[in-house]
Amino acid sequence: MDGTRLTAEQNASNLGSGLYVWCDDPTAQTADRIATSITMPLRIMAQKAWGPAKPTTYLEFAALSDAIAEPI
Protein backbone atom coordinates (compact mmCIF):
# COMPACT_ATOMS: atom_id res chain seq x y z
CA MET A 1 0.00 0.00 0.00
CA ASP A 2 2.79 2.45 0.78
CA GLY A 3 4.91 1.58 -2.26
CA THR A 4 7.44 -0.58 -0.45
CA ARG A 5 8.41 -4.04 -1.65
CA LEU A 6 9.12 -7.25 0.23
CA THR A 7 12.65 -7.95 1.31
CA ALA A 8 14.32 -11.03 -0.17
CA GLU A 9 13.68 -12.90 3.10
CA GLN A 10 10.00 -11.89 3.14
CA ASN A 11 9.61 -12.76 -0.53
CA ALA A 12 10.92 -16.28 0.10
CA SER A 13 7.91 -16.83 2.39
CA ASN A 14 5.41 -15.26 -0.02
CA LEU A 15 3.02 -17.98 -1.16
CA GLY A 16 1.00 -15.78 -3.49
CA SER A 17 -1.86 -13.34 -3.52
CA GLY A 18 -5.62 -13.50 -3.66
CA LEU A 19 -8.54 -11.25 -4.39
CA TYR A 20 -11.78 -12.30 -2.74
CA VAL A 21 -15.11 -11.40 -4.28
CA TRP A 22 -18.41 -12.13 -2.61
CA CYS A 23 -21.90 -10.76 -2.49
CA ASP A 24 -24.60 -11.10 0.14
CA ASP A 25 -27.19 -11.11 -2.64
CA PRO A 26 -26.10 -13.32 -5.57
CA THR A 27 -28.80 -11.82 -7.79
CA ALA A 28 -27.50 -8.25 -7.32
CA GLN A 29 -24.99 -8.53 -10.18
CA THR A 30 -24.28 -10.97 -12.96
CA ALA A 31 -21.01 -12.88 -13.14
CA ASP A 32 -20.02 -10.80 -16.19
CA ARG A 33 -20.67 -7.56 -14.31
CA ILE A 34 -18.56 -8.72 -11.38
CA ALA A 35 -15.75 -9.83 -13.71
CA THR A 36 -15.76 -6.40 -15.35
CA SER A 37 -15.65 -4.63 -11.99
CA ILE A 38 -12.59 -6.57 -10.77
CA THR A 39 -10.55 -6.35 -13.99
CA MET A 40 -8.37 -3.42 -12.90
CA PRO A 41 -7.92 -4.65 -9.30
CA LEU A 42 -6.75 -8.00 -10.71
CA ARG A 43 -4.28 -6.24 -13.00
CA ILE A 44 -2.91 -4.21 -10.11
CA MET A 45 -2.60 -7.28 -7.92
CA ALA A 46 -0.79 -9.18 -10.68
CA GLN A 47 1.70 -6.34 -11.19
CA LYS A 48 2.38 -6.08 -7.47
CA ALA A 49 2.63 -9.84 -6.93
CA TRP A 50 4.48 -10.99 -10.04
CA GLY A 51 5.95 -8.06 -11.89
CA PRO A 52 9.11 -6.07 -11.35
CA ALA A 53 8.79 -2.54 -10.01
CA LYS A 54 8.47 -0.77 -13.37
CA PRO A 55 5.59 1.72 -13.39
CA THR A 56 6.09 4.44 -10.81
CA THR A 57 2.73 6.16 -11.20
CA TYR A 58 -0.81 4.95 -11.71
CA LEU A 59 -0.94 6.56 -15.15
CA GLU A 60 2.16 4.62 -16.22
CA PHE A 61 0.63 1.42 -14.85
CA ALA A 62 -2.71 2.04 -16.59
CA ALA A 63 -0.96 2.59 -19.94
CA LEU A 64 1.06 -0.62 -19.48
CA SER A 65 -2.01 -2.54 -18.38
CA ASP A 66 -4.03 -1.39 -21.37
CA ALA A 67 -1.19 -2.25 -23.74
CA ILE A 68 -0.77 -5.86 -22.59
CA ALA A 69 -4.20 -6.87 -21.31
CA GLU A 70 -7.63 -7.44 -22.76
CA PRO A 71 -9.63 -4.21 -22.87
CA ILE A 72 -12.08 -3.60 -20.06
Q: What is the mean pLDDT of residues 49-64?
A: 76
Query: pLDDT tens digit string along 27-56?
Result: 888 888 888 888 888 887 877 777 666 777
Q: What is the mean pLDDT of residues 19-33?
A: 81
Encode the chain in three state secondary structure.
CCCCCCCHHHHHCCCCCCCCCCCCCCCCCCHHHHHHHCHHHHHHHHHHHHCCCCCCCHHHHHHHHHHHCCCC
This prediction's pTM: 0.54
Q: What is the mean pLDDT of residues 46-72?
A: 73
Q: How confident is the model at residue 70 (pLDDT cuts 50, 70, 90)?
A: low
Q: What is the reported pLDDT for 1?
A: 43
